[in-house]
Amino acid sequence: MSTPAPVAVALDAPDLETAARWAALVTPHVSTVKVGLELYLRYGPEVVASVRGGNRVSVFLDLKLHDIPATVAGAARAVARLRPDVLTVHAAGGADVVRAAVEAAPGTMVAAVTVLTSLGDDDLGRIGLSGPVSDAVRRLAVLSVEAGAQGLVCSPREVAAVRAEVGDGVTLITPGVRPAGSGADDQARVATPEEALLAGADLLVIGRPITRAPDPGAAAAAIAASLRRVAIAR
């Protein structure tokens, strides 16, 4: 069996049974499955055990915690007992928020979300953040790493610039990854899996192009094969 591809499949399923089925289909081919806010709020801690299954795939708990430091610390401590491999927090909460999550979940990689991939330069202006997006991402990346974040979430378009800012010791996670021919859905800053990997991403978040496919397992296998070809060619 080949090494699983560095892909986190977003299990944005309508129910727990579907999420668990998708996880079972894709985990021979990918390293990670991602549980988002909607699924976690609907089913709670049970969802983590259900999608982890017997093969112990890595679980990315994408809750994007964003509150005052004490509240984020309490929330991170509460979910740390589920042993997620990755937990997200919003970098825009500030350095103290990132640090609170890191200290409260010492066995989990805390990944700070820089700028959501649904936002563009105009959106930043409307919400009062200094842009352009690329500058905001770099600022938030540096702030988060200095506060102890072991991972960063940014779009594939910013990966190279973020890597230059923070060095090689930080895991870069990229949503907004769409195979060629797929629609962008609600993402504003996208790239293909091959482009994201070549740019320097460590973990690619891919959801609907896999889970909406007639055979999610086959779709995951095809993406994994394309990424292996890129890795060999590098």
Catalytic amino acids? Answer: 64
How far, in Å, CA of 19 to CA of 42, rounded? 12
How far, in Å, CA of 228 to CA of 177, rounded? 16
Q: Which helix (H) or strand (E) holds 78?
A: helix 69-80
Closest CA to 177 of 218, 206, 217: 206
Orientation of helix 95-104 relative to helix 133-146, angle to 10°: 50
Both tokens of 88, joined, read 């997200």
